[in-house]
């Protein structure tokens, strides 16, 4: 699959094996085509079970996983080994997108990203991404890579609007993938979002996801129940008008669940 689907299923904290497999299969059979996981989530095998269970051909699914520097290693050999282990756990021959999960641990742009390029040449991954990178660390990666950077996955939602990263992604021609697009449930308590939800007779979650897409990013909300998986998916039918988007843009409140400034590598 070449294009990044407009919405994906996040699997962070989806640690119960049966529940994880069921939620992945449910999402795929409902119409989702983007599944996001990571080595450090400890659920790649369960995600693979869900992929195998769903009656959806592998070549119709955009599958992404990540290599984390704290749980394994972002050295050249560490990246190669971890990526191959991820394929084994997922039960696939390749992933569509492989991320550097954080610029931490023994992350070294030249060494780490050369391993990612080697994996791309091997066919282990079709695309290279980074996650939790600020513009400066993205630019360093862009300088090192000889192939295009496909995406940067970051926290983004109406309470953390990431204007700088959105502009940077557009300028440098990579995608911004939004995790925690519902601000871990905070969007349900924002009056502006609740008002827009009532106007369109939809949930606050759908409003938040539609806003993220309107800004040019790709949300990957996590969900385990069929009800929430469906509600999130139905956001694809919601079109916010200019007034709605402006009202959300003007929200005077910021919530950041992942603080890059406090991170040990900063």
At residue 261 the predicted structure's pLDDT band, cuts being 50, 70 and 90, is low
Residue 1 near residue 33 (C-beta atoms within 8 A): yes
pLDDT in tens, 160-210: 999 999 999 999 999 999 999 999 999 999 999 999 999 999 999 999 999
68 CB neighbour count, 10 Å cutoff: 21
Rounded to whole angstroms, what are the CA distances from 50 to 14, 151, 160? 12, 24, 31
Catalytic residues: 41
Sheet holding 97-100, edge to edge: 9-10, 34-36, 62-67, 97-100, 128-131, 149-155, 175-179, 218-219
d(CA 209, CA 38) in angstroms, rounded, equals 22
- 226-252 average pLDDT score: 98
Q: Does residue 51 have a pLDDT over 80?
A: yes
Residue 5 near residue 33 (C-beta atoms within 8 A): yes
- 110-138 average pLDDT score: 97
d(CA 176, CA 80) in angstroms, rounded, equals 25
What is the structure's pLDDT at 38?
97
At residue 266 the predicted structure's pLDDT band, cuts being 50, 70 and 90, is very low
DSSP assignment, residue 98? Answer: E
pLDDT in tens, 57-94: 999 999 999 998 776 789 999 999 999 999 999 999 99
d(CA 238, CA 158) in angstroms, rounded, equals 16
Q: Which residue has the higher pLDDT, 261 or 232?
A: 232
């Amino acid at each position: 699959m070449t294009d990044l689907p407009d919405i994906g299923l996040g699997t962070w904290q989806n640690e119960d094996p049966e529940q994880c497999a069921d939620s992945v299969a449910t999402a795929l059979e409902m119409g989702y085509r983007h599944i996001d996981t990571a080595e450090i989530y400890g659920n790649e095998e369960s995600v693979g079970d869900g992929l195998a269970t769903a009656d959806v051909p592998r070549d119709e699914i955009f599958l992404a996983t990540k290599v984390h520097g704290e749980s394994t290693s972002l050295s050249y050999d560490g990246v190669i080994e971890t990526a191959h282990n991820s394929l084994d756990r997922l039960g696939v021959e390749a992933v569509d997108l492989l991320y550097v999960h954080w610029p931490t641990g023994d992350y070294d742009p030249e060494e780490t990203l050369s391993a990612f390029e080697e994996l791309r040449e091997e066919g282990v991954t079709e695309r290279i991404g980074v996650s939790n990178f600020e513009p400066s660390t993205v630019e360093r990666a862009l300088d090192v890579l000889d192939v295009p950077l496909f995406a940067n996955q970051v926290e983004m939602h109406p309470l953390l609007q990431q204007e700088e990263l959105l502009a940077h992604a557009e300028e440098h021609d990579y995608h911004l993938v939004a995790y925690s697009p519902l601000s871990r449930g905070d969007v349900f308590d924002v009056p502006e979002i609740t008002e827009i939800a009532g106007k369109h007779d939809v949930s606050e979650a759908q409003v938040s996801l539609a806003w993220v897409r309107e800004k040019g990013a790709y949300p990957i909300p996590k969900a385990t129940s069929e009800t929430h998986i469906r509600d999130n998916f139905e956001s694809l039918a919601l079109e916010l008008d200019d007034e709605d988007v402006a009202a959300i843009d003007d929200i005077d409140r910021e919530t950041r669940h992942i603080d890059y400034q406090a991170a040990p590598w900063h």
